[in-house]
A and B are shown apart, each in its own frame.
Chain A
């Protein structure tokens, strides 16, 4: 069964559609990337799946169930999202413990303290952080909290919206490693939105290149690694991203 199935999906924000007629299938356990530049509509797709962009028509199915226009509780247990900006995605007046307990409280789950402790361990955060406020944490630590929050309800599908683009390179490496490890451990399906092809090469199995709200190419990560794209725009993007390897990296080898 596919984890995410989009059929003829068109998404608008009141006016003209920003995503046109998108059909896409992400298999269960797969890590799939939507790649494109700003204005390509890649983030909008993610928002529509999450229920944050209600103005769409077509079909969105997650784990075989068609979803409605608004966030709902049943959906929340299957699919969660990690946002781009670790500084804007945590409530500034709530401790980490409050933030992580909230989804459990909403869904009436018990053993909250225990689950929070376990989850902090799973995302590699020391227990010292449990009762801190977000402003006492670094960007990387906040992003770990955001990932922990998304996993509290044990969803099977995780939507990742540029999860590392606001982070430093060394911190990005830590978060990417974490995401890779969690995916294996918890058998998650990822739908990742990014403009960074290097991240895709590290974390994903397949990718779709988007431009002006349309998918221009669907490719495997092997295609990305070898740079054998069909569509001229995909090749252009590949070249602009530094081609087969950045000079800095080739210098290392």
Chain B
């Protein structure tokens, strides 16, 4: 592999608790090229915190410590807050779970996308930006982009809102997209189209993707490589196609616990957490 896009070594996130700090991410390490990496885990596994730590978006009292975190040759740990702001959006973007909370309710969709553009590209004229926004909305397969650009966030559906978010995140043409549960607030039929869209755009632009999700099926469908996280640690790393060779009992338990469409088991196997947590 050529030089990796992102390298993270020994990432730790701690929150203060009653009896001293509690580590929620306990030494996660991974690297990623211009490929699609999935991070899977259940709630409390630290997968979302991992995503936020890369962008240094974690708010106090959360504390991040990391052995090494490099993005395209730059050391993210020592970068000034100003340089970091320039990096966010322009080179690394993030799509969050619920478009309702991520979009500004008093700005039209078009203006918000245009703003994402102006923050990183001051040279263009108003008309050029407008043109660019419409093209982008068209690219995320919104019919009638002129009309949609004039709408406010509450006037668009969940699926369309998420497309708008994606348009907003991709318009500065970043190198890496972090998608944190991008479809879990959406209906199944919309889920597939939003994921297909992200997938196509990632491939077209040759970007890297980190897809954070609780859904093993989704991740195995849309990623090249999968990290399975449990209790703040990466317990398994494998190619998406090789999930059947997963060795860690947690991964195997997780896979078996999903009911199947042609389900014949009278009862679902339940994770025996004592097997590896020792509690």
Contacts and interface: CB of A to CB of B under 8 A. Distances in A.
A12 B137 CA distance: 35
A135 to B, nearest CB: 14
Interface string B236-279: 00000101100000001111111111110111111100000000
B271 A170 contact: yes
A242 to B, nearest CB: 6
A236 B192 CA distance: 11
B118 interface: no
Interface stretch (A21-29, A49-57, A105-113, A171-179): A171-179
A248 B43 contact: no
Contact of B187 (A173, A195, A253): A195
Interface in B158-215: 158, 187-192, 214
Nearest to B186: A38
Nearest to A166: B43
A37 B188 contact: yes
B85 interface: no
Given A37-B187, A240-B188, A225 B269 contact: no
B16 interface: no
A169 B257 contact: yes
A181 B271 CA distance: 18
Interface string A56-76: 000000000000000000000
B261 A176 contact: no
A241 B258 contact: no
Contacts of A37: 187-190
A240 B42 contact: no
A92 interface: no
The contact size tier of chain B is 35 or more
Given A195-B187, A240-B192, A201 B261 contact: yes
Contacts of B269: 173
Contacts of A174: 270
A1 to B, nearest CB: 28
B221 interface: yes
A227 interface: yes
Contacts of B189: 37, 236-237, 240
Nearest to A181: B267
A213 B271 CA distance: 38
Contact of A251 (B187, B244, B257, B266): B244
Given A37-B187, A252-B244, A198 B255 contact: no
B65 interface: no
Contacts of B259: 173, 176, 198-199, 201-202
A15 B157 CA distance: 20
B217 A246 contact: yes
A153 to B, nearest CB: 27
A56 to B, nearest CB: 25
Given A169-B254, A170-B254, A242 B261 contact: yes
A15 B131 CA distance: 40
Nearest to A225: B262
Interface in B68-90: none
A238 B260 CA distance: 12
B25 interface: no
A212 to B, nearest CB: 13
Nearest to A221: B263
Interface centre among A38, A169, A227, by most chain B C-beta atoms within 10 angstroms, is A169
A244 interface: yes
Interface in A206-231: 224-227
A113 B189 CA distance: 47
Contact of B255 (A227, A243, A251): A251
Interface of B: 42-43, 158, 187-192, 214, 216-217, 220-221, 241, 243-244, 252-263, 265-271
24 contacts: A139-B43, A170-B42, A170-B257, A170-B271, A171-B42, A172-B257, A173-B257, A173-B268, A173-B269, A174-B270, A180-B267, A195-B187, A198-B258, A198-B261, A198-B263, A227-B261, A240-B191, A246-B258, A247-B220, A248-B220, A248-B255, A251-B220, A251-B255, A252-B255
Closest 4 CB pairs of A and B: A246-B217, A251-B244, A173-B257, A168-B42
